[in-house]
């Protein structure tokens, strides 16, 4: 697929497909697109011949849906939150990742004040001859926005395709869902995002509510790790200002993170100091340290996750869920009507 061609061009066999829709796309040529199309045709051979044209049509419809969804809901960070919640609402808020992603964005917004303080510090430092502070502040702000857009686009494509497969099964078209999942993934997906799609499809059929929640939470952590990989890529190691005096370095150093806490059925936040020397640009350390603590706090149980949904809905206000997630028997709830906020 296209990610295979991109990996060859940039000489990075581990590159993930969120880079396909970024700056690296401009390194691809018509020959690369032709090779990706040939791979797509080869992968279609595993699909029963009677369903191949239908599978192609499903891919075309998915591409249009993702394009229109992103154009309508990715113009600013608040729209992206509502986009995540729209996907969550289609599943009665049982699908875990969109709510966790929205909660993460709420913390990005809360941290916007810190960025403004860094900018003010930069103006003061400029007067002292250290113009790198302003540049670092601008770079971080730009990085956060680009990463957020990239993560959202990647998540929306994955979620919508998975829910389409679930909807096909609910309408008695399991053979088509099976064909879609056996054939090639959509253009902008890689192996990990394709595994996530298949996992959501399987989890949706789990009858026991608690077991279904546990599996959806496990899948959501894979999506969280993927989000953090996009952040790591856009971060590109830029959290230090070399050559500045110690007093400036100290004020720029990130020494704590904000973690959610569930108490009495409600979500709140507390600050947690990071270990001395902790490197936030270290992907694995960030995911398995503060990232894991953040994620586990809100997915430790269905009750904790309900509190998280309630917080996010109250925080962003423009979505009225049809009740909190129930995780009852019968599989994943699914509304097929488009979301309208």
Q: What is the arithmetic mean of pLDDT over 29-54?
A: 97
Q: What is the pLDDT of residue 112?
A: 57
pLDDT, one tens digit per residue, over 195-213 is 999 999 999 999 999 999 9
pLDDT surpasses 90 at 118: no
Q: What is the arithmetic mean of pLDDT over 47-67?
A: 98
Q: What is the pLDDT of residue 191?
A: 96
Cα-Cα-Cα-Cα dihedral sign, residues 196, 201, 202, 208: positive
Asked if residues 48 and 178 have their Cβ atoms less than 8 Å apart, the reply is no
Cα-Cα-Cα-Cα dihedral sign, residues 213, 219, 222, 226: negative
Cα radius of gyration (the chain): 21
pLDDT, one tens digit per residue, over 245-279 is 565 555 556 778 899 999 999 999 999 998 888 88
Q: What is the pLDDT of residue 139?
A: 74
Task: Describe the crossing of helices 132-170 and 96-110 by its angle, rounded to 10 degrees.
Answer: 160
Angle at 226 between CA 154 and CA 156, to 5 degrees: 20
Name the pLDDT band for 107 (thresholds 50, 70, 90): confident
Asked if residues 210 and 302 have their Cβ atoms less than 8 Å apart, the reply is yes
Q: What is the pLDDT of residue 250?
A: 59
The DSSP H or E segment spanning 270 is strand 266-273
Cα-Cα-Cα-Cα dihedral sign, residues 185, 215, 98, 209: positive
List the chain domain ranges: 2-19+28-316
Instruction: Assign residue 340 a region (left: φ > 0; alpha: ψ between -120 and 50; beta: otherwise).
Output: beta
Q: What is the arithmetic mean of pLDDT over 68-84?
A: 94
Asked if residues 297 and 271 have their Cβ atoms less than 8 Å apart, the reply is no
Least confident of 109-113, 187-191, 222-226: 109-113
Q: What is the arithmetic mean of pLDDT over 118-147?
A: 67
């Amino acid at each position: 697929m296209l990610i295979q061609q991109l990996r060859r061009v940039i000489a990075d066999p581990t590159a993930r497909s969120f880079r396909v829709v970024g700056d690296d796309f401009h390194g691809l040529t018509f020959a690369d697109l032709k090779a990706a199309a040939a791979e797509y045709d080869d992968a279609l051979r595993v699909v029963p011949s009677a369903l191949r044209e239908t599978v192609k049509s499903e891919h075309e419809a998915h591409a249009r849906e993702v394009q229109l969804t992103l154009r309508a809901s990715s113009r600013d960070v608040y729209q992206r939150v509502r986009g995540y919640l729209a996907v969550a609402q289609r599943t009665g808020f049982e699908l875990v990742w969109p709510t966790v992603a929205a909660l993460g964005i709420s913390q990005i917004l809360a941290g916007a004040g810190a960025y403004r303080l860094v900018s003010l510090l930069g103006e003061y430092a400029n007067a002292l001859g250290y113009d790198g502070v302003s540049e670092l502040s601008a770079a971080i702000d730009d990085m956060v926005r680009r990463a957020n857009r990239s993560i959202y686009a990647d998540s929306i494509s994955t979620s919508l395709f998975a829910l389409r497969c679930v909807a096909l099964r609910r309408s008695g078209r399991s053979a088509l869902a099976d064909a879609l999942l056996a054939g090639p993934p959509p253009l902008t997906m890689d192996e990990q995002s394709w595994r996530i799609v298949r996992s959501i499809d399987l989890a949706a059929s789990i009858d026991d509510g608690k077991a279904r929640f546990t599996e959806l939470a496990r899948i959501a952590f894979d999506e969280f790790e993927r989000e953090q990989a996009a952040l790591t890529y856009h971060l590109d190691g830029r959290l230090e200002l070399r050559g500045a005096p110690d007093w400036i370095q100290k004020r720029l150093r990130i020494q704590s993170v904000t973690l959610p806490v569930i108490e009495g059925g409600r979500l709140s936040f507390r600050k947690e100091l990071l270990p001395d020397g902790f490197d936030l640009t270290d992907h694995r350390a960030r995911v398995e340290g503060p990232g894991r603590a953040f994620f586990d706090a809100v997915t430790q149980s269905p009750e904790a996750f309900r509190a998280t949904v309630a917080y996010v809905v109250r925080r962003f206000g423009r979505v009225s869920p049809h009740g909190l997630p129930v995780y009852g028997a019968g599989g994943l709830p699914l509304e097929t009507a488009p979301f309208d906020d």
